[in-house]
Structures are given as structure tokens and as C-alpha cells.
């Protein structure tokens, strides 16, 4: 079979590892693989390159995606999708694996509903895809953020300040929650849970009163701006506060061992689906098992939020 692979939307660490896993597993099992450059935009333009075993060498440990990624408005329209299908047929590609987030899954579903076998791998740092406990890149990002918060904590202690660290995640608070727990944050502000500035200030104030030498607040970009939270803390408490927006440093760098193993297993699973005639599915990991669910089902559900972990974070911030 001829299998196309593309990466789409915001990149994430582990995408290269996923491309490598799919390519090598497919070739070992007797299939041909084509890399599609620049996401759906490249698909419509026919930017296809044949991939051999060696073409995916030396990329396992690299962040980003060597196929590159893009967000395409044209592909959202029926004419764009028809253009893409024509290019796939012209190149004799009969299966398409899409590595990306929510928007990329919508694209894969649109092609599937037009009769083309597509498959999704959850490539996004946000961990906001349903039917998977982890998305590709999330673990790496959380580890990166924890390291950066450690640095911020050092200087916050020296100056007895409160540091507000704003992290990515779009509408999801998972990066903030997990990095916040792992770095002992005093307050975690996320879109999934109601919060108030008064409560935040009270926690920080009480911390200093108990003898803490710094305050750490982790804010998900989907909940508030770190800058605003810092200004409000200073205004309401009179304590010094500084905001750090981590930005794109969170999305690059070498993938963690977890993300490399996850993508190796997902690559194997997607080839298994292709060979058993199960298409229109997204691959996930649930309770440690690699699973597949229809793209339609995945897109109709919300990713789960770990309320228990949030409660634990509150208890441990004392």
C-alpha cells in the first residue's frame, strides 16, 4: 500500500519520532511511504516526497517536524479538499496519516467523509484531544516548563517575589495543571476551574505569612494573561509580582523518552489499522494501552480534565 504522512497545525515535540515510526514500520511491512510537506497546504499543492528507511534517520531526537507544518484556510473549503484528493489519487497514495491537533483531525475527517481512508495521531502539546490520556509533545512540554519554573523559583526566592508563569494550552489547562503540580506552584489558574483574583491574592498572602520566601502562580493562557494577574497581585496585596510568558520555548526541543516511546507505539498501531482495513480513526493511549476510535467520536467529545489532580495541587500548595 502507498501511505502518505503529514503534520499539521502547531508543531509538537515527538512529531519527527512519529513520522519515523510510521515510515519504518510501514516499509518493514512492505508498504511505500510518502512524506507530504507543509501540512494540508502542501497536500493541495502536491508537495510529496518518497520516504525511505534512511530518510527518517537522525530525526528521532529532534523537535519540530522535518515535514514542516502549516495552517490552511483553503483546505477548510470543499474545493480545497477536492484539490487535495485529486493530488492524492494522482500520486497513487491510498492512505493518509495526519499528525496534529483538533483542526487537523477535522481535516482528516473531511477527507474520510469524501471517501478517502485517513488516520489521526494526536500531535499537540495541549493535551486537549478526547480518547487519549496523552497527546504527542505534552510530556516534553510539561518537563520543559517544570525546568523553567525551577529557574524562576530561584530568583523569586532571592527577591521574595511572586512569579506568575503563563503557559500555552489554548483552551486547555493541562500543561498548567501538570507543570504546576510538578513544580509545587502555590496557585494554578486554568480555564476548567472557576477562580477569583481575591482568592489568588489570599493564597499568596497566607504563604508569605507562613514564612514562604516566594510565590509561584502558573496560569494557562486560556484562563488569563500572566501580566494581568501580576498587576492585580501587586495592586491588591502590595507584594512584588513579576510575570513570565514562556511562549514558543515550550513547543521546541528534544522529545522526552515518554513521547518517543508513545509515538513508536502509535506508529505501529496506525499501520496495524491500515492493514486491517480500519480507517477514519484516531490513535490514542488509554490506561497504558494504545487504542483507536473513530475520528468522528473523538471530535464529538471533550478531553477529560483531572479534577482529582487539581484537588491534590490545592492541598500540596500549603
- Note the residues at the interface with ligand F6P (CB under 6 A): 10, 101, 124-126, 168-170, 221, 251
Q: Judged by CB, which is closer to ligand F6P: 124, or 263?
A: 124
Q: Judged by CB, which is closer to ligand F6P: 162, or 256?
A: 256
Q: How far is the CB of 65 from ligand F6P (least distance, A)?
A: 12
Residue 177 cell numbers, joined: 495543571
Q: Judged by CB, which is closer to ligand F6P: 12, or 81?
A: 12
Phi, psi torsion values for 197, nearest 5 degrees: -60, -35
Q: How far is the CB of 222 from ligand F6P (least distance, A)?
A: 8
Spatial neighbors of 220 by CB under 8 A, at least 6 apart, are: 166, 167, 169, 172, 173, 175, 176, 177, 189, 190, 191
Q: Of 11, 126, 128, 139, which residue is the catalytic one?
A: 126
Phi, psi torsion values for 51, nearest 5 degrees: -115, 130
Residue 24 annotated as binding site: yes
Q: Judged by CB, which is closer to ligand F6P: 3, or 136?
A: 136
The Cα–Cα gap between 126 and 175 comes to: 7
- C-alpha of 236 from chain center: 35
Residue 89 annotated as binding site: no
User: What secondary structure letter does DSSP report for 123?
Assistant: B
Q: How far is the CB of 100 from ligand F6P (least distance, A)?
A: 9
Residue 197 annotated as binding site: no
Q: Give residue for cell 528507511.
A: 53
**Beta carbons of 101 and 128 less than 8 angstroms apart:** yes
Q: Judged by CB, which is closer to ligand F6P: 10, or 14?
A: 10
The Cα–Cα gap between 59 and 125 comes to: 18
Q: Give residue for cell 508498504.
A: 31
Q: How far is the CB of 28 from ligand F6P (least distance, A)?
A: 32
Residues linked to residue 284 through DSSP beta bridges, in sequence order: 291
The Cα–Cα gap between 214 and 6 comes to: 45
Residue 54 annotated as binding site: no
Nearest 5°: CA angle at 187, between 182 and 192?
90
198 catalytic residue (yes or no): no
- C-alpha of 195 from chain center: 24
Q: How far is the CB of 218 from ligand F6P (least distance, A)?
A: 14
Residue 125 annotated as binding site: yes
Residue 214 annotated as binding site: yes
Binding site residues, as ranges?
10, 20-24, 71-72, 101-104, 124-126, 153, 161, 168-170, 184-186, 210, 212-214, 221, 242, 248-251
Binding site residues for Mg(2+), as ranges?
102
Residues annotated catalytic, as ranges? 126
Binding site residues for ATP, as ranges?
10, 71-72, 101-104
Amino acid at each position: 500500500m502507498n501511505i502518505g504522512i503529514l503534520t499539521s497545525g502547531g508543531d509538537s515535540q515527538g512529531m519527527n519520532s512519529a513520522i519515523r515510526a510510521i515510515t519504518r514500520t510501514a516499509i518493514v511491512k512492505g508498504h511505500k511511504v510518502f512524506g507530504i510537506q507543509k501540512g494540508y497546504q502542501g497536500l493541495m499543492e502536491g508537495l510529496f516526497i518518497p520516504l525511505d528507511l534512511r530518510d527518517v534517520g537522525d530525526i528521532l531526537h529532534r523537535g519540530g517536524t522535518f515535514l514542516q507544518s502549516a495552517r490552511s484556510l483553503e483546505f477548510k473549503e470543499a474545493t480545497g479538499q477536492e484539490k487535495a484528493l485529486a493530488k492524492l489519487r494522482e500520486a497513487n497514495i491510498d492512505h493518509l496519516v495526519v499528525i496534529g491537533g483538533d483542526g487537523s483531525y477535522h481535516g482528516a475527517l473531511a477527507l474520510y467523509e469524501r471517501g478517502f481512508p485517513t488516520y489521526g495521531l494526536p500531535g499537540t502539546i495541549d493535551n486537549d484531544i478526547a480518547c487519549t490520556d496523552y497527546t504527542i509533545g505534552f510530556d516534553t512540554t510539561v518537563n520543559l516548563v517544570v525546568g523553567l519554573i525551577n529557574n524562576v523559583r530561584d530568583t523569586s526566592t532571592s527577591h521574595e517575589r511572586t512569579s506568575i508563569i503563563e503557559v500555552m494550552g489554548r483552551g486547555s489547562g493541562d500543561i498548567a495543571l501538570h507543570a504546576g503540580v510538578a513544580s509545587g506552584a502555590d496557585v494554578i489558574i486554568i480555564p476548567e476551574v472557576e477562580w477569583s483574583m481575591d482568592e489568588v491574592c489570599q493564597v499568596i498572602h497566607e504563604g508569605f505569612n507562613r514564612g514562604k520566601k516566594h510565590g509561584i502562580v502558573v496560569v494557562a493562557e486560556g484562563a488569563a494573561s500572566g501580566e494581568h494577574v501580576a498587576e492585580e497581585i501587586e495592586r491588591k496585596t502590595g507584594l512584588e509580582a513579576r510575570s513570565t510568558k514562556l511562549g514558543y520555548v515550550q513547543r521546541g526541543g528534544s522529545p522526552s523518552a515518554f513521547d518517543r516511546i508513545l509515538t513508536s507505539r502509535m506508529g505501529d498501531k496506525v499501520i496495524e489499522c491500515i492493514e486491517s482495513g480500519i480507517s477514519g480513526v484516531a490513535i490514542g493511549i488509554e490506561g497504558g494501552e494504545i487504542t483507536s476510535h473513530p475520528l468522528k467520536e473523538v471530535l464529538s467529545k471533550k478531553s477529560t480534565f483531572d479534577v482529582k489532580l487539581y484537588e491534590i495541587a490545592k492541598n500540596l500548595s500549603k
